[in-house]
């Protein structure tokens, strides 16, 4: 895990950085050191001109730091393979996973969908006119006069419900 290492001593004249830790650091752990006072990268594991050697937690730099000041601030990133995951870290990861699961659940469609992603809409007819005559059925729906009054009632109610639904649909 990449971490910012802050307990160090910088000796610009001798081109060394001393890591004040009881853990033994290796070059494999050291990622990058930037002198943030001068905005110069003084160690980069991928650059042979900005490399170095480390013995007893003292890094001797290839980069010439003799014109820098020992009081300059350094930004040191290391790969801390020595620190196992803590209970706090594991708890944080668990909480983040739970939040992500909730967000995914909220983004799921709230209605039923068919195989092509169309939502099924269910509606109930709350009011159907009480008086239906052959004349207003024929006028409103062009219904054939051979249809029984029960069928008229159903057909008219269905048409009115469809019209009401169609007029009240909004899409976003």
The per-residue pLDDT for 84 is 58
pTM, 2 dp: 0.48
**Residue that wins the pLDDT comparison between 52 and 148:** 52
Total residues found in the chain within this entry:
172
Supply the pLDDT for residue 83.
56
Question: How far apart are alpha carbons 79 and 5 in whole angstroms?
Answer: 10
Contacts 24+ apart (CB under 8 A), 160-166: 160/125, 160/128, 160/129, 161/123, 161/125, 161/128, 165/121, 165/123
The vertex-135 CA angle with 134 and 136, nearest 5°, equals 95
Local confidence band at 58 (pLDDT 50, 70, 90 cut-offs): very high
Burial of 84 (0-12, 13-18, 19+ CB in 10 A): exposed
Q: Tell me which of 4-13, 49-58, 69-78, 128-137 is least confident.
A: 128-137
For 150-162, the pLDDT digits (tens) are 666 666 667 777 7
Tally of CB atoms within 10 A around 25: 19
Residue 131 is predicted with a pLDDT of 47
Q: Let me know if 42 is exposed, middle or buried by CB neighbors in 10 A (0-12, 13-18, 19+).
A: buried
22: tokens are: 């009881």
């Amino acid at each position: 895990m990449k971490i910012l290492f802050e307990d160090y001593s910088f000796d610009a004249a001798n081109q060394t950085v001393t890591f004040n830790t009881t853990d033994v650091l290796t070059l494999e752990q050291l990622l990058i050191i930037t002198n943030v006072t001068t905005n110069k990268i003084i160690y980069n594991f991928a650059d042979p001109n900005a490399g170095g050697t480390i013995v007893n937690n003292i890094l001797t730099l290839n980069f010439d730091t003799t014109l820098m000041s020992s009081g300059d601030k350094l930004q040191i990133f290391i790969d801390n393979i020595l620190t196992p995951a803590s209970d706090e870290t594991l708890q944080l990861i668990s909480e983040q996973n739970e939040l992500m699961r909730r967000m995914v659940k909220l983004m799921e469609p709230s209605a039923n969908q068919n195989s092509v992603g169309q939502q099924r809409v269910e509606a109930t007819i709350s009011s159907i006119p009480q008086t239906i005559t052959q004349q207003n059925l024929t006028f409103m729906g062009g219904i054939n006069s051979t249809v029984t009054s029960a069928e008229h009632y159903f057909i008219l109610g269905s048409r009115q419900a469809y019209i009401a639904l169609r007029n009240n649909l909004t899409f976003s």
